[in-house]
Amino acid sequence: MSQFQIFSDGAADIPIKVANDNGIKVIPFYVSLDGQHYQKEMTELSLDVYYKEFVENHLFPKTSLPSVQDYIDAFAPAIESGKDIICFNITSTLSGSHQSANTAGEILKEKFPSAKIFIIDSLLATGAQEFLVIEAAKMQRNGLSIDEVKVNCEKLRQSARIMFMVGGLEHLQKGGRIGKVGAAAGGILKIKPLIELKDGEISLAGITRSRKGGMKKLAEITKSYFEKTGEKVEDFLFTVGETNTPEEITVFQNELKLAMPTIVFEKDFLIGATISAHTGPGTLGVCFMKKYDRL
């Protein structure tokens, strides 16, 4: 196996066991439930506790990115042991995590000039970012060099998309993702936006007034990606994620299957605190990315 260590920030929502099984080290974000005390997501604040407060007690959590020192503390042991490193971060349009990792890499490069330190802006988040990191681990197991992994991942991220809907606009407004006027108008009209993340940018993909209608529209938008690009559905990884509506997963998967009969799903997942703190309860979406061996 090539001697390099794979890292990801916590925005990829990689379960601890999956990260351990794939030899991936995760640098978590910090989450605060009271606006004052911050804890590391998953390692200090479990998702069970987080969601109980988030959903049941209607809190508006705050998040904070990993510091430069957090990245140095994570990277240094690997480099000191003779390994190169590659780190994947949430899209830089949504967080400064990538910049923190970059700064840490530059500091360590001065001390270890022969080490390869690749800091990758995934242009993604949550389940799509996880796909990118897991595919990197597959490449490593298959003997690809760190340089080959970097090149392949920079291609793969261009194929990835996240299509999702939110339960309301309050959390997007609190997090500065939508203005007060837009949030108020949406509340009055009972409009739920359909959102797409592509090439690192968030854009409005449509609107809906019902959950069922939103699922159908998301399936149609996803199908249109393959119609426009000419890509094959079978060449892609798919997963469905949610915040607090697990009962909708099968319903949404069925809508996606109706639109794209050859679709195959990886295990569904619970969206972590880093993303859900901004999107709010009722978030449901599909993440997809091309398989590395289909490039």
Q: What is the pLDDT of residues 226-253, one digit of tens each?
A: 999 999 999 999 999 999 999 999 999 9
User: What 3 state SS string does 47-61 have?
Assistant: HHHHHHHHHHCCCCC
Query: The domain that contains 17 carries what CATH number?
Result: 3.40.50.10440
Number of structural domains found in the chain: 2
Q: Residue 51 falls within a domain, yes or no?
A: no
Please report the pLDDT score of residue 98 as a whole number.
98
Pair 288, 130: CB distance under 8 Å: no
Q: Are residues 181 and 287 in the same domain?
A: yes
Identify the domain boundary among 158, 192, 209.
158
Identify the domain boundary among 126, 158, 190.
158
Pair type for strands 117-121 and 84-89: parallel
pTM of the model: 0.94
Identify the domain boundary among 127, 158, 189.
158
**Per-residue pLDDT tens digits for 67-78:** 999 999 999 999
Residue numbers of the domain that contains 76: 4-29+65-158
